[in-house]
Structure formats: structure tokens, C-alpha cells
Structure 1
Amino acid sequence: MQNDNHVTSEISSMSVPAIVWALTGCIGLIGSNSLALGPIAPAIADGFDVEVQDIMLASAAFGLGTALGAIALGQLIDRAGPRRTLAYVMLIMGIGFISSGVAQGAVVLTISQFLVGISAGVALPAIYTLAAVVASPGHEGRTIGVVLTGWTISMVAGVPLSTLIADGLGWRAFYIAIAAAALIAGAGLLVNGQEHEAQRKGVASRTPITALTIKGVLPLLAACGCFMAAFYGVYAYVGDHLHVNLEYPVRANGLAAISYGIGFGSAVFLDRYVDAYSGRRILLPLIFLMVAVVYAVMSLVSGTYTGVLAVMAIWGLANHFGLNVLIMRLTALEPSQRGAIMGLNSAVTYLALFAGTIVMGKVYAAEGFVYITLCGGLLSLLASVFSLCAAYVQSPD
């Protein structure tokens, strides 16, 4: 017990490297782009004189590009180094944002978002890899946790800001704004942080697929797929459930998203405990089990708006821990192939988004919201089982 208190005290005093905040900002930009298109799609559709569905094809193109970029180009992170790779793809992403902002039709917007997606597919694993590289030993959980708050920033601030900019200055101004931020981030990473490249050692995998042979990768990716399919599949229909089934106005959905984001972001203050107990192989299975319980509770309170809001915050908290420890486990498997492994992780995540949203949509249409929360709980239980298998494959006692 005294040792645990000593570890916790040390972690509490750990200072976060400046580059970690830059990584957090990069996550925020990627998240803002992916989450903001839906709310501003009607304005873009009016400008192009097309249907909203035509605009949302750009969102699908972004997701497809992200998955393809991660699995096809993830090995570049190991070869060139995570900082240099991230710098270049943020510059390319900035070009994609500019192209989105000046697009004169839905087709050009879709192609531009596909380019942004390919860049994001490399940027996300590079960000997680670099976070693991720059983290002080024993402080990986808190470092990665700070980076993950970028998703909270995009959800709580990025999306509302995008609608304000679209209303005040036009939707094109939003893309120009995030393009400027991406270009600044890319240039900053390119000229700073040279010392981080010296920490990159080892032989990079030839393709991300070869990283599948590393012990523990397959079961952890399976856990990732179940975990992410559960999240995206349920989250996609929370808004419709509140509006159609509980008969709340659409603006009520925003408060639900903020509640989730606050829960997700507030977990960063508890990440020091993740570091203190990160060596225990049962940690990730227990977290996924906790997520399964959250889905079960969600099914019980789904008939009340206040109940859903409360569970959304707890859901965000639990998902933060799950994502944090999952990334820690994956990046620790083989340091010389972190980029390839995280590329696979990003590919699985976005394929899970695609599959989870479609399959859960059919369940939702046929059986209702309660049943998709139960499906989410079942998938989380499977994630727990897969992560337990990974723990015993990696380090049997």
C-alpha cells in the first residue's frame, strides 16, 4: 500500500511535456472535422443546391480514407519517425481542409474529405505513438490521457464553434480556420522536437499486416473492434432516441453530447491511477467489464432524459479509461513497430464505426434503443474476454 501511495504521489507531480499539448490540439482538429460535418451539412447542401445525403457522403469518404490510410501507410511512422510523419501529414491535412473550404460542389468536397481521411489515418497512430515515446516511464497513462482530451475538445468546443462560424461567417470559414491551425501545427512539429527522433530505434515492419504476428496484437485488435463497434453503434442513435422516442427537441441532443464529453475529459484527472496499476494485466478486462455494466444501466434508464444524461457522463468516463489502457497495451507490445500497430488500431476503429453503425441501425429499427444498449453490453463483454486472452498471451505467469 505504501508503494502504491508513493507511485501515485510521483505521478501527481509529473509535468506534461509541451509537445503533448500540441498532440492534443491535433486530435482536436481531426475530431472537429469528423464531428462538425453533420451539424453544418444543411448549410453546405443549401450552398451546393443538393440534398444533405449528398453532403454526408463526404463523411463516409473521410472514414474510408482514414481506414485505408492507417492500414496502408502506418509503417511510415516507424520508418520516418512519429514526429516527422505527423508534421508532414498535418500539412497535407491542411491542404485537404483548404480544398474542402473552396469546393464548389459535393464531389470536390467528398474527394477533399477523402484526402483529409487518409492524412488522419496516418496522423492518429502517429499521435498515439509519439505520446508513448515522449511519456516519462511510469507516466504513460497520464500522458496518453491528456492527448485523448483532444476528443473532448472537439466534441464540447469544436462542434459548437463550427456551427457558430457557419452561422456568422459561412461554412467555408470553418474549414479555412481549421486549415490554418493544421498548417501551423505541421510547421511547428517540423521545426521543433528533433530530440524525439533519436528515440526511434529498431526495424520497421514492411507493412502493417506483418505486425499481426506480434504476440497479443490480434486479441487486442479484436477487443478494440468490439469496444468501438459498441460505442459508435449506440452513440449514433442516442440523439434519435431522445428526439423521436422521448420527444425532446433536437437541441437536447447537444446537452447529451456535452455530458459525454465532460465525462470523457474529466477522466484525465484520474489517469494517474491508471499509471499506478497499469502493470496489472487484469486492468483492461475489468475496464471493459465496467463499460458493459454502463450499457446495462443505460438500458434501464433509457426512458428518462435525466437518466440518459447521467449515464452519458459515466459512459464517457469509462470509455476514456478503456481507450487509454488499450492504447497503452498496444504501444507497449513492440516499440519498433508502434506505428504499424497503431495504424492497425485506427483501421479497426473506423471499420468498427462503419459496421457498428449499420448493424446497430438495423437492430434499432427493428427492436428499439434498449436492445442496442444490450448489444453494446454484449460487445463490451467480448472485448473484456479478448483483452484477457491478450494479457495471458503476452505475459503468462
Structure 2
Amino acid sequence: MRLTLRETIYLLTGWLTLFIIGTDLFVISPLLPLIAKEYGITPAVAGWIVTVFSLMYALSAPLFGWLSDRKGRRLFIVFGLLAFCLSNFSTAISPSFTTLIISRIFAGLSVAAITPLVYAIIGDAALPEHRGVWLSVVVSGHLMALWAGAPIGTMLEQVLGWRAIFIGLAIIAALLSILNFRVWASIQKVDSIEAPTKGSVLRIISAVSVTAFWAIAMYALYVFLGTGLVLYNHFSSNELAASITVFGIGAVLGSLCSGRVTDKIGTRMVSIFSTAILIGVLALLGLFFSARTLVYLLLFLWALTGYASFTSYQARLAEEFPETRGMALALNNTALYIGITLGSMTGSLVITKWGFFALPFICSGIALISCLISAKRKRHTPKAALKPSS
């Protein structure tokens, strides 16, 4: 696939935007102990800055998706980036934990206007035969932040302090708002084929339940992965960092590879097949988790198949709901955050009742539910496909 200069700029803009958003999301975890110490609170209390961010995102993303389907996406993406800039600057200068919490609430609101709408506008701009690749590229920007953006931010914190990280993110967001304003000028408004059909929201909610179960299966184990590797595999700090890096590389490659395969053989087949493989990989993790060398390969395969499943399913939603693409992808991101929250709760419950080694098998079973729902869903063929605006 040869890209024109304009298409390259589209993808680069989407990738950079989601990389910065992902960095803001993933860098919080290693900074929590420092934030807790500065404000004189426990790490558990400090964790509320993640909770309120996720809650606000999950609640407001569908609203921005619905509005963008009617008013165009560029306005809300730029608004989101400017709000993201202000909220991160507020985070950096917060004199108390209360003001910090408020700043993260607004950060969640701003990201809800950015992430799903970037996916949607990329879906609008791409030709149908290239949509899978395009979405996989921008998703890889978000995933790259998991193993590149967050560690870089953590290293900068040691030199500049944690507040400087958020000032830097605020400055970059301001610059990205200008870039997004210019780049998406030619695709300001989605050309609807028809008004959303009656009951389409219910169909979308049913469709994104696949993502909710996928997220539970992935994050119930991922949240407690470090704990398991340290307590049961006796990993050192370096080995733990290496395992997370291997997982991150697998996630990025899974996202990128799935895009090309999706465009060749179809979104439905790839999304179902990759989730089916994920079921087996999770079961193998349960069987061989204590195998110190083999576990690296299994972590890589887990991320590879898991994020291939997620990326291909996003492309499937973008294909199946062209008239309400913004709403569909926004609700899909809401389902993702709900799944992550339920996943952490599920993981805690399973470890408490049956121990850590039962967790991969439980997650494999939950992934099976996701796969069955995905396979059972009837193929939805829209009356016409949207063409990118010129």
C-alpha cells in the first residue's frame, strides 16, 4: 500500500495524538507512589486519580461520539486537545489532592473527546480496503506509549520531577491541537448516508459487549501480572521490566499485523480467529506460568493475539456502523474501560478465592465468551460505504 503525502500526514497525526494520550494514561501508574508521598496520602487513595479519570471517560465518550456523527469530528478533537492541555497544566500545579482529583476528572473528559474520535476520523478518511491497516497504525501509537512513553516519562521524572511530565504533555497537546485543526480541515463533517436507523444504539451496545468481555479477559490477568511474576517466578526488577517490554512489543506488532491481514481476508474472520487463539494462549499461560524462559514467549503471544483481536474488532465496528461510526467507536472505548475496571475486580476476587494460578484459566474462559458473542453476531452489511471527503 503506497501512501500519498496527505495520507501519511493523516496517519502521523493520528499516531502522535494517541501516543501522547497513551503516555498520559500509562505514566500515571509509576508516578502514584511519588504523588502519594508529596500529598501525604496512601497509594490506595492516590489511585483515585486513575478511577475518576476512567469513570469520566467512560461516561462522556458516547456523548462526544454521538455529537461527532452529527457535527463533525475535527471540532471535538481540537476542543479535547485544548482541554487536555489545560487539565494537564492544572495537574502539574495542583496545590492539593482535591484540585488534583478535579484536574484528572477534566483530563478524562478531554480524552473522551479525542481517542474514539481519532479512530472514527481515521475510519472516515481511509478507503474501505485500507481501513484495517490505518486503524492498526493509529492504535499502535496508543500501545507504543505502554512500553515507550511511560518508561521515558518515568526517567524524565527522576531528573525534572513528576509535575514537569504533565507540563510537557500540556505543551505537546497545545501543539497537537494546531496540527489536528489543520490536518482534518478537509474532513470536518461526516457525510451520513441516512439518519441512524431505529434501534441502532441497541445494536451497537450488543456489539461492543464483545470488547467488554475481551477487556475483562486481558486486564484481570494483566493488572496482577507483575505480582505473579515477582511472587511466583521470583523475577528481579530487570526481568520484570523485560517481561513488560516483551508484552508491549507483542501488543504493537499484533495491532500492526492485524491491520494488513484484516484488509486481505476481512474484519470478521480476523477478529474471531485471533480471539480463538487468545483463548488457547491464556490457557497455556496457566499451565506454564512458572517456566521462567517460556513465559516470555507466552507473554509475547498473549499480547500479539490479544491486541490483534482488539484492533481487528475496532475495524469491524467501523465497517459495520458507517452512519454512526463515532458513536460505535466511542461506546467501544467505554466498553473497554468498563471491562478494565471489571477485570481488575475479577482478578482480585479470583486470586482471593482460588489463588493466582487459577486466573489465566478464568481469563481464558472469559475470552471464550467474547469469541462466542463475536461469532454469533450476524454479519451487518451497510447499504453503502462512506467515502472520504475531498
Q: Which residue pairs with 1:308 in the alignment?
A: 295
Give the Cα–Cα distance (whole angstroms) in 1 for the partners of residues 266 and 347 of structure 2: 32
Aligned partners of 1:260, 1:332: CA distance in 2, in Å?
28
Residue 146 in structure 1 maps to residue 137 in structure 2 = yes
Alignment deviations for residues 106-142 of structure 1 (CA, whole Å, 9 cap, x no partner): 2211111111111222212101101111112301111
Q: Does residue 1:96 correspond to 2:87, yes or no?
A: yes
CA deviations on 1:42-72 (whole Å, 9 max, x unpaired) are 2222222222222211011111111011133
For 1:295 and 1:260, how far apart are their aligned partners in 2?
13
Where does 1:1-397 land on structure 2 (aligned, <5 Å)?
A: 11=1, 13-14=2-3, 16-197=7-188, 199-202=190-193, 211-214=200-203, 217-267=204-254, 268-269=256-257, 271-278=259-266, 281-390=268-377, 392-394=378-380
In 1, are the aligned partners of 2:136 and 2:258 still within 8 Å (CA)?
no
Output the amino acid matched with 1:370.
F
| Bigger mean CA offset, 31-40 vs 186-195 | 186-195
Q: Is the 8 A contact 1:59 1:110 kept in 2?
A: no
| TM-fit CA distance, 1:78 | 1.0
Native 8 Å contact 1:91 1:182 kept in 2: yes
Q: Using the alignment, how far apart are the partners of 1:265 and 1:330 within structure 2?
A: 20
Q: Which amino acid aligns with 1:338?
A: R
Conservation of the 8 A alpha-carbon contact between 2:70 and 2:189: no
Tell me how far apart the structure 1 counterparts of residues 308 and 253 of structure 2 sit (CA, whole Å). 11
Note closer, same or farther for the CA distance 1:192–1:48 as it changes in structure 2 (3 Å cut): same
| SS of match in other structure, 2:129 | coil
Give the 3-state SS of the residue equivalent to 1:50 in structure 2.
Answer: coil
The 3-state SS of whatever aligns with 1:336 is: coil
Q: CA deviation at 1:160?
A: 0.7
CA contact (8 A) 1:102 1:172 kept: yes
Q: CA deviation at 1:270?
A: 5.6
What's the % identity of the aligned pairs?
Answer: 21
Q: Distance in 2 between matches of 1:175 and 1:204?
A: 41
Greater mean deviation of Cα atoms: 354-363 or 269-278: 269-278
The change in CA–CA distance for 1:46 and 1:218 in structure 2 (over 3 A counts) is closer
Is 1:75–1:205's contact at 8 Å kept on the other side of the alignment?
no
Could you tell me whether the CA contact under 8 Å between 2:87 and 2:103 is conserved in 1?
Answer: yes
RMSD over equivalenced CA pairs, Å: 2.1
Distance 2:71 2:173 in 1: 20
Return the offset for 1:192: 3.0
Q: Which residue of structure 1 lines up, in the alignment, with residue 384 of structure 2?
A: none
**1:371 positional shift:** 1.3
Equivalent residues of 1:211, 1:340 under 8 A apart? no
Tell me which amino acid in the other structure corresponds to 2:284.
V
Count of aligned residue pairs for this structure pair = 379
Letter in 1 for 2:108: G
The offset of 1:227, in angstroms, is: 0.5
Q: Which residue identity does 2:309 align to in structure 1?
A: G
TM-score (norm: length of structure 1): 0.90
Q: TM-score, length-normalised on structure 2? A: 0.91
Q: CA deviation at 1:286?
A: 1.5
CA contact (8 A) 1:40 1:162 kept: no
